[in-house]
Amino acid sequence: MWLYEKKLQYPVKVSKCDPMMAKFLVEQYGGADGELAAALRYLNQRYTIPDKVIGVLNDIGTEEFAHLEMIATMIYKLTKDATPEQLREAGLGTDFVNHGGDLFYNSAAGVPWTATYIAAKGDPLANLYEDIAAEEKARATYQWLIDYTDDVDLQDSLKFLREREIVHAMRFRESVEIIKADMGQKKIY
């Protein structure tokens, strides 16, 4: 189904060790509005969406996994040279004691990821409006992350992700209009 190239969707560069920024980025890894929740939400919803827009959910859901990979790379690069003291000060000490260098799906506040983050109503319009909201929340979070760091290299990658959220929201809005137009057509059997 997928062809995996051993490269990120967009280059991830980090100028300095910054465990605190890594902690904040964990929100986009395993938080309620993060990339994992988005990927699973869209790939789950595609089974009940009309055929005319199924590709949108499939494409965006798959791309969200690429974004998850980018976030993981950012976190790794921001923490790879950190001392245990720096990790403790950033609030990541328990994460590293429990998981070593591996990431764990939780929010920046330490709340474990849960399947309750995945919204699926079985109604195409309800699902798509939820998807638009999810993309807008992710866009806002990326903007706050951009504002929170002075690392221009990291900002570059975060800006790419923010822009992709905007594109995804636009694609979902287009899908809403396609479904509305289809619902408004007289059906002849």
> Which are the catalytic amino acids?
35, 64, 67, 135, 165, 168
Binding residues for Ca(2+): 59
Q: Is the pLDDT of residue 48 over 80?
A: yes
Binding residues for Mn(2+): 35, 64, 67, 135, 168
Residues 169, 135: contact at Cβ < 8 Å?
Answer: yes
Amino acid at 74: M
Burial letters 155-168, b for 16+ CB under 10 A, else e: bebbebbbebbeeb
Q: Is the pLDDT of residue 45 over 70?
A: yes
Supply the pLDDT for residue 185: 74
Q: Is the pLDDT of residue 1 over 90?
A: no
Tell me the mean pLDDT in the region 85-99: 90
CATH, range 19-184? 1.20.1260.10
Tell me the mean pLDDT in the region 92-100: 86
Residue ranges of the domains in the chain? Answer: 19-184
